[in-house]
Copies of this chain bind each other. A is one copy, B any other.
Amino acid sequence: MVTAPNSEVETLKESQVWLQPKETLSAPAAIELGQLLDCLVPRLLSYVDATASSKLPVAADTSPSELTKLLDLEFEDVGLSQEGLVELLAPIVMKSVRSWDPRFCDKLYASTNAIGVVAELVLAVLNANSHVYHVSPSLTLAETATAHSLAKMFGMGINSGGITLPGGSASNTTAMTTARNLLFPHIKESGYGADDRLSVFTSTHSHYSIEKAAIVLGIGSSRVYKVPCSLDGRMLPAALKAAIETSISKSEKPFFVNCTAGTTVLGSFDDIEAVAAITRPLGLWLHVDGSWGGPVVFSSMYRHLVFSSSLADSLTINPHKLLGVPVQCSFLLLQDKRLLFKANSLQADYLFHDQADQFRDLGNATMGCGRRPDAFKMYLAWKYYGTAHFSQRVTAACDNALYLAERIAQSPYLQLAFPVHSVNVCFWFRSQDSIAFSSIADSHLWTQDFAISPSWGRLTQAIQKKLSSKGEFMIDFAPATIHVPSPNGQLKEVVLPPFFRMVMNSPNLTTSHLDALVNSIESIGKELSVADV
């Protein structure tokens, strides 16, 4: 009935378009895109080639004021030519941090990989929005299948599944919102009543997004109980129990307990089974924040760290971290995915028309509207590399961490801070007048009047800065608050000076890199005296 304005329209078969692509393009948008890609793809490949093989420093040492001068940050009426675009992008790309370089170990993500780039390219071309099935049919099915397959790996059942959300914080916040909306449905309509003083429980080492979620939700940071951890970084079940009892004694309503699977700084894993034994009888929602450590589920060697994750009501996992999927890709998985819809759906009849399958329009499961189909990136990586690839990648990363811990133990200059659980290794450069110990979890350590010199923190930060400005390694540092047993049986809070937090994220990080890192830190440290820092 309608014909497109172009009268020479021929009807193409779908398969021809994809399987026998034409050499000659005719649509102006396709021609323009082809020209830009011809010009830019070789440069981007050159960038990947140079950085992945460490032919440049891992970071450009450019100050913010220098960088501001290099960039073109003014907008004009007339756009750029293709040559102008190449020039514009030069400092943007070349002064960015080089995450393809295996020496980028600064954050809990590194570069993506070939299939990650391809997945982003496909998403850009489709420009799909996965809020409604009707406009993202294949991507909705891929998301649903990927979430269910992931949930099954964590031992979740037949109704399990979930959705992607824009990052671990968003997933954790949505988990808390979902729990609150289900356990206290009247709050959805009426807000908190005078009796609705809800409370939340999470360990001192957990990610700040749990506290931020409680702030957003209007629960308030003071009703987030930060439960002390053992000296190897795991939430103390007895302390959790005591905190819940304290909260109840104040007429609060405990409802949400977060277990961390892979803490941000230490990489430690809470004991989900022990926590579930406390939360289950009380009917509390048990969430596992596996943003960082969740991927150990792929490794037969390290899967035990998330043993009992099937006891959780919800679980966050970020494939954009340890699995190399492009930033951002975070899944919120539920034992019963239908609860996401029940808790978060509002009738928006201008948008959600499908009565036939109420779980088909994934936007209905969120507190948002439009959604980037991030799940597709995990789907494609999983299909292309296979499960065994993820398994090897995670196992190798954990093995690397053990190797580095061993090197640190052998070094007269370095001191391991915490026992190594998975892929984080925390350590100091220590001053030479101190006595070595195995880690702060050494039971004998805290029976003495032990203190770690603040100078270790200053040395560590000075070395980190030098490593980074030389472009040799990007690794981060962090302080930590721990709880040590004191003679009266109480726990005493101790703030540890900043230590190196090395993470084994890049799949191309080898033991040679780790040797080089140890050597480099030792060399820089030996040249610095405590008086210098």
Contact = CB atoms under 8 A, between A and B. Distances in A.
A10 B54 CA distance: 9
Number of copies: 2
Nearest to A467: B2
Given A49-B25, A80-B384, A107 B135 contact: yes
Interface stretch (A70-78, A242-250, A333-341, A403-411): A70-78
Interface stretch (A394-402, A486-494, A508-516): A508-516
B67 A43 contact: no
A126 B40 CA distance: 14
A31 to B, nearest CB: 8
Interface in A88-130: 88-97, 99-100, 103, 106-107, 109-129
B96 A350 contact: no
A455 interface: no
Given A73-B145, A369-B209, A220 B187 contact: yes
Given A120-B123, A218-B219, A371-B167, A2 B517 contact: yes
A25 B348 CA distance: 51
A173 interface: yes
Contacts of A36: 114-115, 117-118
A89 B119 CA distance: 10
A78 to B, nearest CB: 5
Contacts of A167: 166, 368-372
A46 B29 contact: no
Interface stretch (A11-19, A225-233, A268-276, A437-445): A11-19
B62 A46 contact: no
Given A77-B386, A107-B132, 17 more contacts: A1-B524, A4-B53, A19-B86, A21-B42, A21-B43, A27-B50, A29-B48, A68-B141, A80-B386, A92-B139, A120-B120, A127-B326, A129-B327, A209-B368, A212-B344, A218-B218, A264-B350
Given A97-B137, A478-B350, A48 B68 contact: no
A485 interface: no
B43 A18 contact: yes
A109 B372 CA distance: 12
Contacts of A372: 166-167, 327-328
A49 B22 CA distance: 9
A446 interface: no
A385 to B, nearest CB: 4
Q: Name, among A86, A127, A188, A215, the residue most crowded by chain B CB atoms within 10 Å (CB to CB).
A: A127
Nearest to A515: B5
A222 interface: yes
Contacts of A529: none
A272 B36 CA distance: 41
Contacts of A46: 17-18, 21-22, 25, 30
A112 B125 CA distance: 7
Contact of A367 (B79, B124, B173): B173
A167 B194 CA distance: 33
A353 B477 CA distance: 9
A118 B125 CA distance: 10
Contacts of A472: 1-2
Nearest to A481: B349
Nearest to A343: B215
Contacts of A510: 5
Contact of A136 (B97, B119, B387, B501): B97
A496 B343 CA distance: 28
A29 B383 contact: no
Interface string A358-385: 0010000001111110001000101111
A320 B88 CA distance: 22
A459 interface: no
Contacts of A222: 189-191
Nearest to A140: B64
A357 interface: yes
Contacts of A55: 9-12
B53 A114 contact: no
A498 to B, nearest CB: 8
B473 A2 contact: yes
B218 A192 contact: yes
Nearest 9 A/B pairs, CB to CB: A191-B220, A218-B218, A21-B46, A79-B386, A166-B166, A120-B124, A4-B54, A350-B478, A30-B49
B138 A92 contact: yes
A453 interface: no
